[in-house]
């Protein structure tokens, strides 16, 4: 059992959990910053979590929900305040409604995650800081201590699987719901390099091509909220079909780590999507995550059936060769 102690201190309005793991700090750190991994242990065993946003940088945000055995969803969020790689990160942790808006009827607390090396591996300390004794007692009464112990009990298996995550550089597509799909790829390159590769027009024309046989003939990027981008591709061979393209608008942007855009296929009435790109530093390079929200399950399945994952993998492999 990784939890070594749980300390409730009404004087400092804090609840602190200490745990130890037989792995280096860098491996434990990556488990918390990778949405695919943290959702395997953030909730209690009976309440698995799903993270639909997890941009681990100062000013960033995480959105998640836990699903009960009866299928009821309990939503929460983090606001990221400070991140010092392999040392600590601090977030505000709160409850949310199903539409993502903050539930102000329940307490919001600050959480500090501290990572320290030990002779046997790593020590993790998670301190939850509250505004009042009443807030502290409320979350304890809601089962926070028992839930934390249950969640922590799952980390060891995730850490055992972490090497497989680190060595898997291929594009992975996961269906999160009827309308959401998450695409992940570990890119051998820095966050700054991968961000530039998504916003430098000449660089994009070199790698964002999908399968061989196509070229990007038009690339207009958008770097500010409200700006519109436009991409167009043509087959290299004249008899290989007609071109196609996408356009959309920037809805939100956090430079070098997160962007949220709409996407619509040009000159069609196909339903549009909302795409969220997140870049997270990782020991293997940069973890790229794209969350795609479709209008319905039919559209989701139609797009996946086109070979989208294979096309994205061809592009990301080309990007790695450039970086």
The predicted pLDDT at position 203 comes to 95
Options 3.20.20.70, 3.30.70.60, 3.40.50.300, 3.30.530.20; CATH for 172-322 is 3.30.530.20
Q: Where are the beta strands (DSSP E) in the chain?
A: 3-9, 14-21, 49-54, 61-67, 73-84, 88-96, 109-118, 121-129, 172-175, 180-187, 214-220, 228-235, 244-254, 258-265, 273-282, 285-293
Q: How far is CA 140 from the centre of its chain?
A: 28
Are 31 and 37 a contacting pair, CB within 8 Å?
yes
Walk along the chain (323 residues) and give the pLDDT tens digit of each residue: 588 888 888 888 888 989 998 889 998 999 999 999 999 888 888 888 999 999 999 999 999 999 999 999 999 999 999 999 999 999 999 999 988 889 988 888 899 999 999 999 999 999 988 888 888 888 888 877 887 787 778 887 777 765 555 556 789 999 999 999 999 999 989 999 999 999 999 999 999 987 788 899 999 999 999 999 999 999 988 776 788 999 999 999 999 999 999 999 999 888 899 999 999 998 888 999 999 999 999 999 999 998 899 999 999 999 999 98
CA distance 260 to 267: 22
The predicted pLDDT at position 86 comes to 95
CA distance 314 to 207: 9
The predicted pLDDT at position 290 comes to 97
Are 260 and 227 a contacting pair, CB within 8 Å?
no
The predicted pLDDT at position 240 comes to 67
Cβ partners under 8 Å of residue 99, min gap 6: none
The predicted pLDDT at position 141 comes to 86
Q: Considering just the CA atoms, what is the radius of gyration of the chain in Å?
A: 21
* CATH fold label, 3-167: Alpha-D-Glucose-1,6-Bisphosphate; Chain A, domain 4 (3.30.530)
The predicted pLDDT at position 185 comes to 93
Half-sphere exposure of 316 (CA within 13 A, CB side): 24
CB atoms within 10 A of CB 11: 6
Q: Do domains 3-167 and 172-322 have the same CATH topology?
A: yes
Cβ partners under 8 Å of residue 188, min gap 6: 169, 284, 285, 320, 323
Locate the domains of the chain by residue range: 3-167, 172-322
CA distance 318 to 321: 5
Are 290 and 172 a contacting pair, CB within 8 Å?
no
């Amino acid at each position: 059992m990784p939890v070594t102690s749980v300390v409730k201190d009404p004087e400092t309005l804090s609840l602190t959990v200490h745990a130890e793991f037989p792995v280096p700090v860098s491996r434990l750190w990556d488990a918390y910053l990778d949405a695919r991994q943290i959702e395997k242990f953030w909730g209690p065993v009976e309440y698995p979590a799903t993270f639909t946003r997890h941009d681990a940088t100062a000013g960033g945000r995480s959105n998640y929900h836990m699903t009960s055995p009866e299928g009821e969803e309990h939503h929460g969020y983090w606001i990221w305040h400070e991140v010092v790689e392999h040392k600590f990160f601090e977030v505000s942790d709160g409850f949310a409604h199903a539409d993502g808006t903050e539930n102000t009827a329940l307490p919001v607390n600050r959480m500090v995650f501290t990572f320290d090396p030990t002779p046997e591996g790593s020590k993790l300390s998670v301190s939850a800081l509250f505004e009042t004794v009443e807030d502290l007692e409320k979350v304890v009464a809601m089962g926070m201590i028992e839930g934390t112990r249950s969640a922590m009990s799952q980390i060891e298996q995730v850490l055992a699987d972490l090497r497989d995550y680190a060595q898997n550089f291929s594009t992975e597509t996961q269906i999160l719901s009827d309308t959401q799909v998450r695409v992940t790829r570990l890119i051998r390159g820095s966050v700054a390099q991968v961000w530039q590769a998504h916003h430098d027009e000449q660089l994009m024309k070199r790698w964002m091509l999908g399968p061989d046989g196509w070229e990007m003939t038009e690339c207009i990027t958008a770097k500010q909220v409200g700006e519109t981008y436009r991409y167009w591709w043509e087959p290299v061979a004249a008899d290989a079909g007609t071109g196609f393209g996408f356009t959309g608008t920037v809805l939100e942007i956090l430079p070098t780590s997160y962007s949220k855009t709409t996407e619509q296929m040009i000159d069609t009435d196909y339903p549009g999507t909302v795409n969220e790109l997140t870049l997270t530093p990782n020991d293997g390079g940069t973890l790229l995550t794209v969350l795609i929200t479709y209008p319905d399950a039919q559209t989701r399945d139609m797009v996946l059936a086109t070979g989208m994952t294979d096309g994205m993998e061809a592009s990301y492999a080309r990007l790695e060769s450039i970086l």
